[in-house]
Structure 1
Amino acid sequence: MSEWKIGNLSAAIGEKVKDYLKFDSVEEKLPAFLVNGSDEGPKVLVLGGIHGCEYTSIDAALKVGAELIRSNVKGQVVILPIANPASFYARSIYVHPRDGKNLNRMFPGKETGTDAERLAFQLNETVFKQVDYIIDLHGGDMIEALVPFTIYHVTEDKQVLEQSKEMASLFDIDFVIGSSGQVPGSTYGCAAEQGTPAIIAEAGQQGILSGDNSVLLQEGVKNILRSLGMLDGEVKKTDSTYLSVFDWYRSDQKALWYPDVKIGDNVANGDLLGKLTDEFGETVKEIHSNTNGTVLFLVTSLAINPNDPLLAVGE
């Protein structure tokens, strides 16, 4: 073992560093915890705030970073609790405020691209490629209600797939989704295709900081670290429901959105999920289910723009 370096940051053996991660091509600086344990072990990245209004995920990553004690860690952990500071301080839903692009659709990014593309590129090159496992914490954005769930990427690399699936099952969360690429440019998909086991864990909703859901995410992260031998303690197992379909519904127009379902509802193929109306209240489109499953997340905004998500059903 030796000094551990991530970009401009470094931590000696047995040291914990709190500082800002900086990139030449990115305007913002990212708060970071760098923990270099005294014993050998894997390298793990914990992310929060890829979407700036998902406050529960940010709080969870921050609490994990503050709590980790260097003498208890075997291996190395880097925690970036506010990975998208521009979106966080602008209270920007889904997208980077300067280019209007969703950071979690931009990976692996572009070195000379727009703001979100450059940030994705730097995160991937400087951090993703330096670790063995990635845990990306999310939650319902400012206008989203959701049932907690975890996601892993179904990649052709069977070892990465199985390791990711195992990580996703270590949160005290009922629903685990094996995603087959419905969300291109995501953190976990990009990492998995590069050979790094990675997951997203979602809890919390609607721009509200939930202490209970923050603890749920914190405990899940620590449970993964225990499973990797990086922390002492018993690994807790959850009887999860594994889903292979993550069916997204989006609007094709500017409209008002009136859902007919709630998060957690079970729906059948053909069921009415909601209606889009014009500004006079006349229905312009009905949204019907394409599958049998559970409503995992639901947009709660009345105002809807073209290509905005409406809800997602897991089967």
Structure 2
Amino acid sequence: MTTLGTASAAPGEMDTGRLEVGETRDGSPVELPVAVVNGARDGETLYLQAASDGDELNGVGVIQRVVPRLDPADLAGTILIVGIVNYHAFQVAEHRNPIDDTKMNRAYPGDANGTSSERIAAATFEAATRADLVLDLHQGSTSRMIDEVRVRCGPRHRLHRECLELAKTFGCGYVLDQKGPDGQLARAGPDEGIPTVDPELGGCVGWDESSIQRGVEGVFNVLRGYGFLDGSVDRQRQTRATGFDQYGSPAGGLVRFQQELGDEVRAGDTLFEVTDTFGSLKARITADSDGIFWRSRRLPQVATGEYVCSVGIDIDSY
């Protein structure tokens, strides 16, 4: 019997339930939606979670579409799922937990006696450390971004190669291979010996069906590639960046992009222009380095110094 919160499943069974992680301001329990899919055959364990940032909903869309397609009779091993991690932020469609103004994906491995975010991180990290592989589903918040997978352990980490292989198996086509900030699950997981990656499924307000479908395909690639399900995966070469050039606006006005997401850019290519309300050019911004047009703001209006876009740099394939 495998349990996660109140979900409990014997081999060949599936169950859903709730994982209590604290109380709200009126004393009601805070309970995260969880699922256990226990395969009929022995195998490894995959941990899958979404919405540790409360406005990043594409991962929730992935889980919503993946779980109904899972048949425990066909599965080897176990899948542990937390469908919504950042409970408080999800309720109000905000990025950070409004109870303690914390970005959840900076709170791992958490503290069972700490703040709201630290307690949630501790409970979900306990589940994650029961697994052999971890997928932490994200998106580029509400900005526009390509579909990618982030390897955050850093190139010198002992599990770097295993995390890269997991990213390649997921197969978004693009990988950011850059050591992440402290407190990320994709940093904390490898420190516990568990290959962990952070699929960033586009970026949108609400959710985007094409990115969700890419995530669904990625999860099933992992399930097949690591023997949870029968079948093979054609591991395609991935385009990898190991850093970003980020660009702000040198003037206030309206942004007019000259590149599309995923475009290859060369140093000196125009990335965007800024005009005034009447269309007169105020600034033209060019790329500092060769790379991939990776991420951009959604709204056209900018103030001086405000973030506009990012270019993935130091590009190769693997």
Alignment of 1:1-315 (within 5 A): 3-24=1-22, 28-92=30-94, 94-124=95-125, 126-142=126-142, 144-153=143-152, 154=154, 156-158=156-158, 160-181=159-180, 183-248=181-246, 258=255, 260=257, 261-269=259-267, 289=287, 291-301=289-299, 310-315=308-313
User: Gapped runs of 5+ residues in structure 2?
Assistant: 314-318
Deviations 1:32-54 (A, max 9, x none): 11011121111111112122222
Q: In the TM superposition, what is the alpha-carbon distance from 1:167 to its structure 2 partner?
A: 1.4
Residue 224 of structure 2 aligns to a residue whose secondary structure is: helix
Q: CA RMSD in A?
A: 3.3
Deviations 1:46-83 (A, max 9, x none): 11212222222211112212221111111110122222
Instruction: Look up the equivalent residue of 2:293 and give its one-letter code.
Output: V
Instruction: Look up the equivalent residue of 1:52 and give its one-letter code.
Output: G
Equivalents in 2 of 1:214, 1:273: separation in Å? 27
Equivalents in 1 of 2:17, 2:32: separation in Å? 8
Deviations 1:209-246 (A, max 9, x none): 32232222111111111111110112132221122224
Equivalents in 1 of 2:237, 2:263: separation in Å? 20
Q: In the TM superposition, what is the alpha-carbon distance from 1:284 to its structure 2 partner?
A: 11
Instruction: Look up the equivalent residue of 2:98 and give its one-letter code.
Output: P
- The answer to whether the 8 A contact 1:173-1:238 is kept is no
Deviations 1:122-180 (A, max 9, x none): 211x21211111011222323x101111111225343x222211111123422112112
Equivalents in 1 of 2:32, 2:284: separation in Å? 43
Identical-pair percentage: 25
Residue 28 of structure 1 aligns to a residue whose secondary structure is: strand
Per mean C-alpha deviation after superposition, the further-off stretch among 285-294 and 95-104 is 285-294
Instruction: Look up the equivalent residue of 2:162 and give its one-letter code.
Output: Q
Normalised by the size of structure 2, how large is the TM-score?
A: 0.82
Residue 310 of structure 2 aligns to a residue whose secondary structure is: strand
Q: 1:310 to 1:101 in 2, by over 3 A?
A: farther
- The answer to whether the 8 A contact 1:151-1:177 is kept is yes
Q: In the TM superposition, what is the alpha-carbon distance from 1:291 to its structure 2 partner?
A: 3.6
Instruction: Look up the equivalent residue of 1:168 and give its one-letter code.
Output: A
Instruction: Look up the equivalent residue of 1:258 and give its one-letter code.
Output: V
Q: In the TM superposition, what is the alpha-carbon distance from 1:311 to its structure 2 partner?
A: 3.3
- The answer to whether the 8 A contact 2:51-2:57 is kept is yes
Instruction: Look up the equivalent residue of 1:120 and give its one-letter code.
Output: A
- The answer to whether the 8 A contact 2:2-2:8 is kept is yes
Equivalents in 2 of 1:197, 1:308: separation in Å? 35
Q: In the TM superposition, what is the alpha-carbon distance from 1:249 to its structure 2 partner?
A: 5.5
Which is greater in Rg? 2
- The answer to whether the 8 A contact 1:155-1:193 is kept is no
Q: 1:34 to 1:257 in 2, by over 3 A?
A: farther
Instruction: Look up the equivalent residue of 1:79 and give its one-letter code.
Output: I
Per mean C-alpha deviation after superposition, the further-off stretch among 27-36 and 287-296 is 287-296
Equivalents in 2 of 1:96, 1:307: separation in Å? 27
Q: In the TM superposition, what is the alpha-carbon distance from 1:5 to its structure 2 partner?
A: 2.7
Q: 1:303 to 1:91 in 2, by over 3 A?
A: farther
Instruction: Look up the equivalent residue of 1:84 and give its one-letter code.
Output: N
Per mean C-alpha deviation after superposition, the further-off stretch among 131-140 and 257-266 is 257-266
Q: 1:63 to 1:272 in 2, by over 3 A?
A: same
Instruction: Look up the equivalent residue of 1:6 and give its one-letter code.
Output: L
Per mean C-alpha deviation after superposition, the further-off stretch among 199-208 and 226-235 is 199-208
Equivalents in 2 of 1:77, 1:196: separation in Å? 15
Equivalents in 2 of 1:215, 1:100: separation in Å? 31
Q: In the TM superposition, what is the alpha-carbon distance from 1:12 to its structure 2 partner?
A: 1.7
Instruction: Look up the equivalent residue of 1:107 and give its one-letter code.
Output: Y
Residue 130 of structure 1 aligns to a residue whose secondary structure is: coil
User: Gapped runs of 5+ residues in structure 1?
Assistant: none
